[in-house]
Amino acid sequence: MTKVLISGGGTGGHVFPAIAIANALKEKQSNIELLFVGAKDRMEMEKVPAAGFEIVGLWISGFQRSLSLKNLSFPFKLIFSMIKAWSIIRSFKPDVVVGVGGYASGPVLKVATIKGIPTLIQEQNSYAGITNKLLSDKVNRICVAYDGMERFFPKEKILLTGNPVRKDILNLEGKRILGISHFGLSQNLKTVLVVGGSLGALSINQGIKNSMDLFTEIGIQLIWQTGKSFYKEAKQEASDSKYMDRFKVYDFVGDMDFAYSAADMIISRAGAIAISELACVGKAVIMVPSPFVAEDHQTKNAMALFDKEAAILVKDHETIEKLGPAAIELLKDQAKMDQMGANIKRLAKFDSAGVIADEIIKMA
């Protein structure tokens, strides 16, 4: 039996690709045993078991780039996690260890390379994460989603695969009515899906909150994923009787296949996994890149789509004034929405998880 250990997480951008890879491995090889390793108290500890896989948590967190008392505990967490990772690997005896980025992947992959176990990392972004950059000289294979990644990684180790996406969003044809019904919305109104990443986005939430009356006046309904920190405020605002039937507010939307199916247009951050999913979905998108990421890579991601007329770009600091009006203007132009949807769909890679799974099986 082949055993594969998958490590990493922290955000949906790491967790959901990992789950997609695991599902692809299960489909391709029935006699495979999978174990996830994540960071305690992070979202993978909930999402991975919900997807049907076993996970073990490490006591690990990131190093704060700014001065912070939290950094005092970092060396102890790292040492503890290295010891725990060593114990997990010794007990599980994996044939291959996979890292998807995030806090937990560092200690696990470091131990695996020391022990000579075949290793593969999956880098989602156009600007490589620090954990993957540090590990790149030691791992055997590096799966990437963008051209030009040899500026971060050894060229001979790179395989261009695209980003794995959730299987349930790959075939949405003819599911709009199901999606609309799932959220209790009207089939006769235009629907906007708002997603600020798995943890939410304050600027997007504020822009939507500021536009609620405007949306109501012209008959727009929302599926609004706020993240946990803004959820109570948004829920309170949407509880007003004039919004209640049209604004569906969630801290996290689990059934993204229904959400994407219901949407006529999507407002989103410009993270790599979000873009990979949106390309597969093939609908009109307004992107609000996060400015709080390394090398401003979300703006670069969004500009790549904007230049191909596959998305509209609203800057993070302009959301309160411009996000609502931009959405309304786009919704009034169905021909433009259709063209944008077709343009972004041309960028989709539909079997990235399968390609990565094949590579893992080959290494085992």
pLDDT band, residue 129 (cuts 50/70/90)? confident
CATH number of the structural domain spanning residue 198: 3.40.50.2000
Q: Domain check: are 49 and 195 in the same one? A: no
Q: Kindly state the average pLDDT of the residues 144-156.
A: 93
User: Domain tally for the chain?
Assistant: 2
Q: Domain check: are 323 and 190 in the same one? A: yes
Q: Are 50 and 96 in contact (CB under 8 A)?
A: no
Question: Chain-centre distance of CA 141, in angstroms?
Answer: 22
Domain that holds residue 225: 168-345
- Per-residue pLDDT tens over the stretch 62-117: 544 555 556 555 566 677 788 899 999 999 999 999 999 888 888 999 999 999 99
Q: What is the pTM for the complete model shown?
A: 0.85
Q: Which residues contact 259 (CB under 8 A, 6 or more apart)?
A: 179, 183, 193, 195, 223, 225, 253
pLDDT band, residue 217 (cuts 50/70/90)? very high
Q: Domain check: are 298 and 327 in the same one? A: yes
The token pair that represents 301 in the structure block: 């991601």
Q: Domain check: are 307 and 268 in the same one? A: yes
Burial status of residue 29 (CB atoms within 10 A of its CB: 0-12, 13-18, 19 or more) = middle
Residue at token pair 């969003």: 169
Q: Are 119 and 94 in contact (CB under 8 A)?
A: no
- Per-residue pLDDT tens over the stretch 267-291: 999 998 999 999 999 999 999 999 9
Mean pLDDT of the chain: 91
Q: Domain check: are 205 and 274 in the same one? A: yes
Which phi and psi angles does 195 have, rounded to 5°? Answer: -135, 120
